[in-house]
Structure 1
Amino acid sequence: MSTLKFEKLLAGPSVDLFEKDFPHNNVWHVETLSKEPTLDMSSDFRLTRSEELTGLVTLKNVFQNFATELSLNSTGVHHLDVTTKLPFLPDATVGSKYLYDTDKNHHHFLLSSQVENKFMWSRLELKPLDFEYNFFSLFRLGSMHRCLLGAEVSGHKLGKLNVTLGSAYKREFGNNNFLLAMRLFGNKDDYLNRLVGNVHMSKNEEVKPAVLGVTLEHLLKEKKTKLTFGAHWHLTTLDDPHASFVKAKVDNEARVALSFCQKFNSLVTFLFGFDFNGKSPLHEPDVNYGLKLTLKT
């Protein structure tokens, strides 16, 4: 049972275009995935740019209406998550999560509930012991549900309050998909302090799909604007057993990131990427390389 996230529901394809499949954030990253009828297991090991080796093992089990997830992290923060669907309210899911930080010897408890239907998404999270909360609702408007409008509120006690207002418009033109999204961020002290806009266009061709996108981030207080352009080109068809693609992004500060993905077979996928400052020559320490290897069993 997936966890609903305000940002992904509002502008998911655009967020993925700029954040996913760029492995240069780590020196190397190895991910293994194993799926059984009743149990999914994944492991994640990476060497970060700060030369820190981290590991994560996750076990997921679904039994009838109950989903259980156990995560063991080398950073010392482990969690057990249990969610279930309510039989008398099929659109609703409730859950509880226990987190333990071994370094700080700190226990956390999280209670959650979420509702998903054709008219809206909504989620509430509470950490009773820490007095933290997060709540959002996102509504689908119009006869074709092309318009999205919602808000997210998070905070700690009553002293710290963060609010995000979001809206989006989605439209299909033949084989082309168009997304326009905007988010306004504010808090109790600064009111509105940040604006983020996304424009996303994709072409659903069976041969070689392509994606283009632009994201704008404007800091209202500092009066600084950052523009980032991204693209995703499939070099093969999506069902090709040796599928490959190229991704690229560049911002108005001339920071460039490129990545190439090659699927060798149904078990092994290789992803290589690097980023650099376009204003200076390609040499260290301005260049960051990274690779990711995904193994499925």
Structure 2
Amino acid sequence: MIGMALDEDAVPAHGVRSLPLAFAAGAAVGVLGGMIGLGGAEFRLPLLISLFGFVALAAVIMNKAMSLIVVLTALPARLAAVSLAELAAHWTVAANLLAGSLLGAWAGASWAVRMRTATLYKVLAALMVLMAAALVLTHTTALGTLTLPGSAQAVAGVMAGFGIGVVAAIMGVAGGELLIPTIVLLYSVDIKTAGSLSLVVSLPTMLVAFARYSRDGSFAVLRANLRFVAVMTAGSITGALAGGLLVGVIPDLVLIPVLAIVLLISAIKMARHS
């Protein structure tokens, strides 16, 4: 079974493994993510499957590896914008979410490696719809806050963290699209600080999912496509830097619906994938 999986990952039935195309695709994803203040991994996943021909689990593992590097790159820049002292003041928020997200990441990765490929495609399609909804909600509405008693807030944080950890592990994303509005809503943290806190929560959560995926035979896809991963990651980082400079060039009322539609179209194609 492992041999068959590796053969499928190494020699796809369709797709082009051009390194210049990988860099360009990564850059395009990075620009989109940078313009909305996110990593853009949810846009990279359908490209790995549809354009480059990786099967679902291999694409998720590669997306996770690239997302991890992008987050590691983004963290110093975020720390320059929001000081360690400011983040330390909210350490209980990170701890509360991590209590659930670390378990969710392990569970999500475990479920992903055990799913039939056809089922995983459908799950990914459903999660893309969720990401589209979160994107629209976060960027086009004014987020309020929930006033919960301390114990209820803690329980809600663990539950939300678990769900986000599962989604992030199965899609191979950092989860900022879900973490940022959760932090704002549950803990009344301003959105700038929430963005930095989301990276603090994302990094260990991603490492746990990555560790779980490393125990599966399909993890060998990273070794087989190391140059491809490196080039596409470089493109993603370059694009993210460029996208950050383009923030505000396209109004959110135009950009966000377009990106949501792109995710929905990708979800439809993913659901039909075989």
Shorter-chain TM-score: which interval?
under 0.3
Q: Which has the higher contact order (CA 8 A, sep 6+)?
A: 2
Q: Which has the higher strand share?
A: 1
